[in-house]
Structure 1
Amino acid sequence: MKMRVLYIGMYSEEGLEGLENSNFANRKDAAASIAKAAGGELLDLMYLQGDYDMAALMELPSLEAASGLLKAVTDSGAWEDMVMLPEFDLDKGLAAIKAVKSSYKTPGKE
């Protein structure tokens, strides 16, 4: 089952210098290419004003593929910072909280 992952990134000085010689279509093609290499697809790419320069939404086959993509991209030197935010199934998370709360015993109350 595929999952959606949001990446937000801040270019390094090297990345910003390269960006000046590129364009949106080329960057979108590059993002689509890495998503495909990781077994997924690019859903959206945006350039941002503020602390981060770019946001990319991808559909990827696994958390491992998403993490591998992040590592490969950050190793390029073009990024000062990049954050990976995988989609979270709220209902499954809440079910886990309820299950653990019903069985967890605090120290001294075992």
Structure 2
Amino acid sequence: MTPRSRSADHDLALVGTGGTIAVPLSPTFVANNSFVLIAALLAGRGIGGVQTALVRNELESGALVRVLDEFGYPPLDVHVVVPTRRYVTRTVKALITCVETAMAGHASLRASLRR
């Protein structure tokens, strides 16, 4: 998880073909909002990690470029939590199925769905 203050320790975990490495960072700017980070990137304030879907147009236009493309982030745990199985509506069941299906195609996401 990314610390939310500049004074906190910032180690960036990157996963490559040789395994995971920790890169110590000393940021001058920290954002916990993707859109704030994207604005900073477009203003030329440095490099950052954001979801490709959020910057697809900027990547296609050349406004932003990929760096460290040979690395990725460690898998992200995603949990679907419901108060009880007894009262799960069809709508919630459909949402859970949708999440499972969407996550199945992404190696960077690990499903934690218990039925």
TM-score (norm 1): 0.22
TM-score (norm 2): 0.21
Q: Greater helix share, 1 or 2?
A: 1
Q: Greater strand share, 1 or 2?
A: 1
